[in-house]
Structure 1
Amino acid sequence: MEKLAWDVRSAPPSGGAVVASVRGDLDRATRTALVTSLADLLVEHGGVVLDVSGLHPGHSPAVHAFTEALARAGGWPSARLALAAPDPALAALLTASRVAEEAPVYGDVADALSHLADRPAVLRDGWRFDVDPHAPGRARSRVRDLCRRWGLESEVREAAEIVITELVTNAVEHALSPSVVEVERHGDAFRMAVRDYGSRAGHDVPEATFWHVPPMSSSRGRGLAMVAAVSRAWGVLRHPDGKTIWAEMAT
């Protein structure tokens, strides 16, 4: 199996960041190696400008190795990644696959280095929780820490904690299902989505809308009314094996 070739050099005065170059074919066989090597560099140095001018994508989905390495290294701002000097085909693929939203692409190394400290257009994170009464508390703690790392205001953090607590509680108590949480910040929006796998009859999402709060005697729906109250938009996506409830707040 052909290996990727790496070269790493320091980039003063970049606060410990490095400039690296990687050459070879990016495909199914080399994707894992790229993720591991790049994540290690990000953890060690905090920031990496990666020259990909010598990298040739032989398998389109393999470009997600860049965002996978970012996530493994802890994500922005502890891990900062900028890609430099891709050929037109790779640049188009990075844009079409939305990788460039999280790992910005620049025309040359100098430009990438000058923007390495900038926040990417999109920040993403996610977790999975088991059917566990402690899951809502763990999810709330994760969101609290994430809001702090992403520099979100206290009002957004407080609303996000309410939302994540209610949605994960819904998965645990009503769907009786593990939950997958996806969190994203883009533009002025902070969005959370909780996917469950509860497809049992009679355990669908309760009715709760912006203009209707269930009575206090109701055992269901009050949580989603709270979600509606602190979100600028929310909704439900139904799947054959469960549902996704999402909520969005303004930053």
Structure 2
Amino acid sequence: TTPATLSELPSTWTLPHTARSVSTARRLAQAAVAGWGMNDDAADSVLLVVSELVTNAVEHALPPLTLHLGRPDEDGTMTIAVTDGGPATETGAWISTCTPDEHGRGTSIIDFIATNHGTTTNTNTNTTTHWATLPTT
């Protein structure tokens, strides 16, 4: 399940609400998982889920954009979360210019990789957090 509060996740970065933030988020996550000594397969899965969640936030949601990474737990899992400003009324620039077969697989990818994932809406702050729990071993 999602952590009780995002403050439980040790690594948090606020990113610009732009397409460039996808590669920035990947670099930040890559540095974090390398520091945690995660094996290559688990690290690749983390980077893929980070990319999908941040891309979805940029293309389908309003700012702000915050990436949260949880350090791997003793149970062999970690949490990745992206908080955004909730659904946008228009799609992002990339989605509006690509063909239907170039997008739309992100949730399926996360569903395949994650042991659990979901969405939490905070009506007090008008934000939405999309999260996933992944195996790290």
Q: TM-score, normalised by structure 2?
A: 0.75
Q: 2:130: which partner in 1?
A: 245
Contact in 1 for aligned 2:9/2:68 (Cα 8 Å)? no
Q: Secondary structure at the match of 1:166?
A: helix
Q: 1:191: which partner in 2?
A: 79
| Structure 1: 5+ residue stretches without partners | 1-121, 204-215
Contact in 1 for aligned 2:60/2:88 (Cα 8 Å)? no
Question: In 2 relative to 1, CA 156–133 (structure 1 residues): closer, same or farther, beyond 3 Å?
Answer: same
Return the structure number with greater strand share.
1
Q: 2:42: which partner in 1?
A: 156
Question: C-alpha deviations, 1:127-157, integer Å up to 9, x for none?
Answer: 1111111100000011111111001111110
Question: In 2 relative to 1, CA 242–123 (structure 1 residues): closer, same or farther, beyond 3 Å?
Answer: closer
Q: Secondary structure at the match of 1:127?
A: strand
Give the number of aligned pairs. 118
Contact in 2 for aligned 1:193/1:245 (Cα 8 Å)? yes
How far does residue 123 in structure 1 lie from its aligned partner after superposition?
Answer: 7.2
How far does residue 201 in structure 1 lie from its aligned partner after superposition?
Answer: 5.0
Q: Does 1:133 align with 2:19?
A: yes
Q: Which structure ranks higher in relative contact order (CA pairs < 8 Å, sequence separation ≥ 6)?
A: 2
Fraction of identical pairs, as percent: 27
Question: In 2 relative to 1, CA 123–151 (structure 1 residues): closer, same or farther, beyond 3 Å?
Answer: farther
How far does residue 191 in structure 1 lie from its aligned partner after superposition?
Answer: 0.8
Contact in 1 for aligned 2:62/2:88 (Cα 8 Å)? no
Describe how 1:1-251 pairs up with structure 2 within 5 A.
124-185=10-71, 186-187=73-74, 188-201=76-89, 217=100, 221-240=104-123, 241-251=126-136
Question: In 2 relative to 1, CA 123–244 (structure 1 residues): closer, same or farther, beyond 3 Å?
Answer: closer
Aligned amino acid, residue 128 of structure 2:
K
**RMSD of aligned C-alpha atoms?**
2.3
Question: C-alpha deviations, 1:50-87, integer Å up to 9, x for none?
Answer: xxxxxxxxxxxxxxxxxxxxxxxxxxxxxxxxxxxxxx
Q: TM-score, normalised by structure 1?
A: 0.43
Aligned amino acid, residue 169 of structure 1:
T
How far does residue 221 in structure 1 lie from its aligned partner after superposition?
Answer: 3.6
| Matches of 2:37 and 2:9, distance apart in 1 | 12
| Matches of 1:173 and 1:247, distance apart in 2 | 18
| Matches of 1:162 and 1:147, distance apart in 2 | 13
Contact in 2 for aligned 1:175/1:200 (Cα 8 Å)? yes
Q: Secondary structure at the match of 1:177?
A: coil
Rg comparison, structure with higher value? 1
